Structure 1
Amino acid sequence: MSDFDVIVIGGGPVGENAAARTAAGGLRTALVEAERVGGECSYWACMPSKALLRPGHALAAARRVPGVPVGDRLDAAAVLRRRNDFTSDWDDSGQVDWAVGAGLEVVRGRGRLAGERQVEVDGRVLTASRAVVVCTGSVPRIPGLPGLADVPYWTSREATSAQEVPSSLVVLGGGVVGVEMAQAWARLGSAVTLVVSGARPLPRMEDFAGDLVLDGLREDGVTARTGVKATGASTVDGGIELALSDGTSVTGAHLLVATGRQPATADLGVEQFGFGAGDALPVDDTGRVEGLDWLYAAGDVTGRALLTHQGKYAARAVGTAIVTGATDPEPWTAPVATADHTAVPQVVFTDPEVASVGRTGREAREAGLDVRVVDLDIAVAGSSLHADGYRGKARMVVDERRRTLVGVTFVGPDTAELLHAATIAIVGEVTVDRLWHAVPAYPTISEVWLRLLESYGL
Structure 2
Amino acid sequence: MASSSEWTQNDTDQAKEAREKFGIWPLDEYNVKLLNEVHPRDYVSKKEPFSEYDLIAIGSGAGGLVSSKQSARRGAKSAMISEALAGGDCLNVGCVPSKALIRSARAVSQVRKAGEFGIVVKGEIVVDFPKVMERLRQKRATIAPADGHPGTESAGTHVYQGRGRLTGPNTIEVNGKELKFKYCILATGGRPQIPDGIPGLKEAPYTTNEELFNLEVLPPRMVILGAGVIALEMAQAFSLLGSKVTVINRSSRLFESKLGDPEAAAIIQTELEKDGVTFLSEAKVKNVETLVEADKNQIALPLMKVTVADQKIECECLLIATGRKANVENCGLEAGGVEFEVGRGVIVDDYARSVSNPSVYAVGDCCAGVPRLTHMSGEMAKLVVQNSLADDEWKLSSLVVPAVAYTEPELATVGFSSEDQAQKEGIECEVYKTGLEHNDRAIIEHSNVGFCKIIVKKGTDEIIGATIVAERAGEMINEVTLAMKNNLGLHAIGRNIHSYPTTGEAVMGCGIQYINKNLPRFD
Q: Is this a same-fold pair by TM over 0.5?
A: yes
1:447 equivalent to 2:505? Answer yes
Cα RMSD (Å) of the superposition? 2.2
Q: Once the 2 structures are TM-superposed, how far is the Cα of residue 247 of structure 1 from its aligned partner?
A: 2.9
Identify if the C-alpha distance between structure 1 residues 432 and 276 changes in structure 2 by more than 3 Å, giving closer, same or farther: closer
Residues 288-343 of structure 1, C-alpha deviations (whole Å, 9 max, x = no match): 111322001111111311100111011011112222122xx3xxxxx443344xx2
Q: Answer whether contact 1:270 1:276 (CA < 8 A) is retained.
A: no
> Counterpart in 2 of 1:332?
none
1:316 aligns with 2:382: yes
Cα distance in 1, alignment partners of residues 366 and 466 from structure 2: 27
Deviates more, 1:14-23 or 1:262-271: 262-271
1:453 is displaced (CA, Å) by 3.3
Q: Pick from 323, 328, 331 the counterpart of residue 268 of structure 1.
A: 331
Matches within 5 A, 1:202-217: 202-204=255-257, 205=259, 206-217=261-272
- Alignment match, 1:420: 478
- Number of aligned residue pairs: give it: 446
Q: Does 1:66 align with 2:152?
A: no
Structure 1 unaligned runs (5+)?
330-334
Match of 1:84 in 2: 137
Cα distance change of structure 1 residues 358 and 58 upon mapping to structure 2, 3 Å threshold: farther
Structure 1 residue aligned with 2:86: 37
- Corresponding residue number in structure 1 for 2:303: 239
- Looking at structure 2, the residues matched to 215 and 279 of structure 1 have their Cα atoms a distance apart, in angstroms, of 33
1:377–1:393 contact (8 Å) kept in structure 2: yes
Q: Is 2:445 the partner of 1:351?
A: no
Identity of matched residues, %? 28
Letter in structure 2 aligned against 1:397: I
Matches within 5 A, 1:48-63: 48-61=97-110, 63=113
**8 A contact 2:413–2:465 mirrored in 1:** yes
1:290 matched to 2:341? The reply is no
Match of 1:181 in 2: 234
TM-score scaled by length of structure 2: 0.80
Q: Distance in 2 between matches of 1:403 and 1:336?
A: 24
3-state SS of 1:148 partner: coil
- Which structure 2 residues correspond to residues 132-151 of structure 1 after superposition, within 5 A? 132-144=184-196, 145-151=198-204
Match of 2:315 in 1: 252
Higher relative contact order (CA 8 A, sep 6+): 1
Deviation at 1:350, TM superposition (A): 0.7
Q: Distance in 2 between matches of 1:339 and 1:256?
A: 36
Distance 1:408 1:449 in 2: 10
Name the counterpart of 1:106. 159
CA distance in 1: counterparts of 2:54 and 2:509, whole angstroms:
54
Distance in structure 2 (CA, Å) of the matches to 1:444 and 1:213: 21
CA distance in 2, matches of 1:100, 1:186: 42
Q: TM-score, normalised by structure 1?
A: 0.91
Partner Cα distance (2:240, 2:506) in 1 = 29
Q: Does 1:159 align with 2:212?
A: yes
SS in 2 for 1:126: strand
Q: Aligned AA for 2:356?
A: G
Distance in 2 separating the partners of 1:69 and 1:51: 26
Q: Tell me how far apart the structure 1 counterparts of residues 251 and 461 of structure 2 sit (CA, whole Å).
A: 34
The one-letter code of the counterpart of 1:271 is E
1:200 corresponds, among 253, 270, 275, to 253
Aligned residue for 2:213, secondary structure, equals helix
SS at match of 2:449: coil
Partner of 2:371: 305
User: What do residues 28-62 of structure 1 show as CA deviations (whole Å, max 9, x unaligned)?
Assistant: 11110111111111010000000000122244346
8 Å CA contact retained: 1:405, 1:431 = yes
C-alpha contact (below 8 Å) 1:31/1:105 kept by paired residues: yes
1:117 alignment partner in structure 2: 170
SS at match of 1:410: strand
Alignment of 1:280 with 2:331, yes or no, is no
CA contact (8 A) 1:197 1:228 kept: yes
**SS of the counterpart of 2:242?**
coil
In the alignment, which of 150, 160, 174 is matched to residue 97 of structure 1? 150
Q: Which amino acid aligns with 1:266?
A: E
Aligned-partner residue type, residue 324 of structure 1: A
Unmatched segments (≥5 aa) in structure 2: 1-48, 293-301, 519-523
Question: Which protein shows a greater Rg?
Answer: 2
Looking at structure 2, the residues matched to 68 and 118 of structure 1 have their Cα atoms a distance apart, in angstroms, of 65
| Deviations 1:91-143 (CA, angstroms, capped at 9, x unpaired) | 77971111111111111111111111111224332211x11110011111111
